[in-house]
Amino acid sequence: MGMGMGMGGRGRGSQRYGAGYGPPPPEYGPHADSPVLMVYGLEPLKINADRVFNIFCLYGNIERVKFMKSKPGAAMVEMGDCYSVDRAISHLNNTFLFGQKLNVCVSKQQAIVPGQSYQLEDNTSSFKDFHGSRNNRFASPEQAAKNRIQHPSNVLHFFNAQPEITEETFFQICEELGIKSPTSIKLFTGKSERSSSGLLEWESINDAMEALALMNHYQMKNPSGPYPYTLKLCFSTTHPSN
């Protein structure tokens, strides 16, 4: 913890780093001096706080998401630490989502102040607190170590799906959510009896980004119990044909 605290510049984000992701190498300190991101270029008709979370959670814990009423298509994303901000910027800046180019940069603010919220186009709130969300993937060093930090690609790795998943299930989910169906699906066999995993490939990175935004953390019915499976997605460098 001490190593992370001494190197993070100002801002509490650096102090959380040791607890959230293990100590950084001695020569490395976060470039960002705030744990808050500014994201521009979001499609107002298609985006909400959960969909922002579904993409940015691949690069660090999310504390809060707040849309800017004065700037349509702009949102603030408070990450768990400054290192997560660095990762999000280096991987997501200049990528495309819903056909719009994203501009991801550091905010001058050190934290998101909730303030007054308003209704987005889909009638969800412009502000959402994700602190303590079970879908955050960097809650402990052990959990954080499982994440493979990848640049966006047209292939998504899925895991924690219901055990008897089929290709048809994914086609039905995509139709329900209004996103393009994958061009290729590979189901892994023999990994675990409790859940299933595999690869989903789309024609373009933009299509995969849209699928990530809408389908990550989709609640899948559990045929043998009361609690649904929370489908989880992340980018992959492996292709289904390999």
Contact assessment for residue 71 and residue 105, using Cβ atoms and an 8 Å cutoff: no
* Per-residue pLDDT at 14: 37
What is the tens place of the pLDDT at every residue in 158-214? 999 998 899 999 999 999 999 999 999 999 986 667 889 999 999 999 999 999 999
Fold of 155-235: Alpha-Beta Plaits (3.30.70)
Q: Alpha-carbon distance 205 to 118, whole Å? A: 31
- Answer whether 12-19+29-143 and 155-235 agree in fold: yes
| Contact assessment for residue 49 and residue 125, using Cβ atoms and an 8 Å cutoff | yes
Answer yes or no: are the C-beta atoms of 199 and 158 closer than 8 Å: yes
Write down the domain spans for the chain: 12-19+29-143, 155-235
The pTM of the full predicted model, rounded to 2 decimals, is: 0.86
Beta bridge partners of residue 66, listed in sequence order:
76, 127
CA 214 to chain centre: 11
* Residue 242 pLDDT: 64
Cβ-in-10-Å burial (0-12, 13-18, 19+) of 157 comes to: buried
Closest CA relative to residue 61, chosen from 4, 15, 124, 17: 17
Q: How many CB atoms lie within 10 A of CB 201?
A: 20
Burial class (CB in 10 A: 0-12, 13-18, 19+), 43: middle
How far is CA 156 from each of CA 139, 165, 208, 211, rounded to the nearest angstrom? Answer: 22, 16, 7, 9
| Superfamily for the 12-19+29-143 domain | RRM (RNA recognition motif) domain (3.30.70.330)
Cα–Cα dist 113/102, whole Å? 23
What are the Cα distances from residue 230, in Å, to 30, 110, 161, 196?
A: 32, 32, 7, 11
Report pLDDT digits (tens) over 41-92: 999 999 999 999 999 999 999 999 999 999 999 999 999 999 999 999 999 9
**Which contiguous run of DSSP H or E holds residue 210?**
helix 205-215
Q: What are phi and psi of 138, to 5 degrees?
A: -125, 35
Q: Are strands 100-101 and 96-97 parallel, antiparallel or unpaired?
A: antiparallel
Q: What per-residue confidence (pLDDT) applies to 27?
A: 53
Least confident piece of the model among 22-31, 100-109, 198-207, 210-219: 22-31
pLDDT for res 221: 87
